[in-house]
Structure 1
Amino acid sequence: MNSRFLGIPDLVEVPSVAVVIDVMRAFTVAAWAFAQGAEQIVLAESLDEALALKSRHPDWAALKDGPPAPGFDMVNSPGLLRSVDLAGRTVVQKTTAGTVGALAVKDASLVLCAGFVVAEATAEVLRTRAGDSVTFVVTGEDGRADEDLACAQYIARRWAGESGTDAAEFLRRAADSRAATELAEGVRQGVHPDDVALCLELDRFAFAMVATPEDSLMVLRPLATSSPTDR
């Protein structure tokens, strides 16, 4: 099996199968949005597009990185999102890295968005649908974010069926990453104290997240698997 690990700037061709990783925090947040009842997540190309979609669909909820801002309902924090009822709603998400990475591979035949919280479910989908080549898009820090690379490498090993793969070392790397430090120290805005811990909850959810183009939009939806049940 062939695994490639690329940053967004390194995507010079469209991969067949792409797994877009953003642990802290876009795709941890997306998973929590689905857990809170969201029906779908539209990945916006810009803040302006997110606001325009919200304007056309007032019942949709818009979400962004950083501090709260006019027109946006939520910020990109799993700790803050876990108390929001999103039953049946569409969420529009725009973040600095995660949504950018997903849109960069929108023409791939299969696009999965992932973090540690859906790692095993993502690996299960790869085992059944990916063939023998997968490109992992490491979105943070132009491909250098160790929390995203660690997650990508862990999922790659689980996809390859490597027995005895211990998640502890991969989670430790993520916990020691620059992103985790900045979140813990309050360098980043729109943060809840539990965000880092929530981003490191391995296999919290029993679904993968598949992004597909629909009517000129990139739409993310959950795909239930037989992987670990919700805790």
Structure 2
Amino acid sequence: MEVSIELMIRALWETLYMVSISLFFGGVLGIFLGILLVVTRKGHILENKVIFSIVNPIVNIFRSIPFIILLVAIIPLTRLIVGTSIGTTAAIVPLVLHVGPYFSRLVENSLLEVDDGIIEAAQAMGAGPFQIIFRFLFPEALASLILSVTTATIGLIGATAMAGAIGGGGLGDVAITYGYQRFSTITIFITVVILVALVQVIQSLGNIFERRIRRV
């Protein structure tokens, strides 16, 4: 059985919906955790062993849980937040908890790439911690952060495909329901082509923006 164009368009829209909303909330969470991981580590501007020793293992724990297991493990939380554990909106909750800690490590790596001399210069000019973070660290790490966002977005696309295994909607749901369960090879092939094209577009855009930032 072949799926209609309308169904594919709706599935693509659902995938983009899940990715965009999850990326926004997961990005906010990831930036917050990433900043904490950097500034509270030993020798940094807000060194705090207690906070670092709490945030670091929490991030590691969530990163170590396979997404398909996380989907099932937090069903009670998903129901509490959105009122259901099935559907496109419900899939956003585990997607945020999946991408947030992952993105925080990318943010951490990007910020740690900034030369220590820039931080020392900022402190010499009397800049406070928040000024150092948002006026020195982030501008210097912007090109790297763009690539981090690109990587996180591509990871989210793969995760939304897995969300289809529990009725999360999107292209993954179409591939499983109309492709795998109904033995439609062409349906699986079409969804794979769309996902590959989507990833290529996002990666190309990320590379373009990163190159432009580095030239500035």
Structure with the largest fraction of strand: 1
Q: TM-score, normalised by structure 2?
A: 0.24
Q: Which has the higher contact order (CA 8 A, sep 6+)?
A: 1
TM-score calculated relative to the size of structure 1: 0.23
- The structure with the largest helix share of the pair is 2
Give the greater-gyration-radius structure (CA).
2
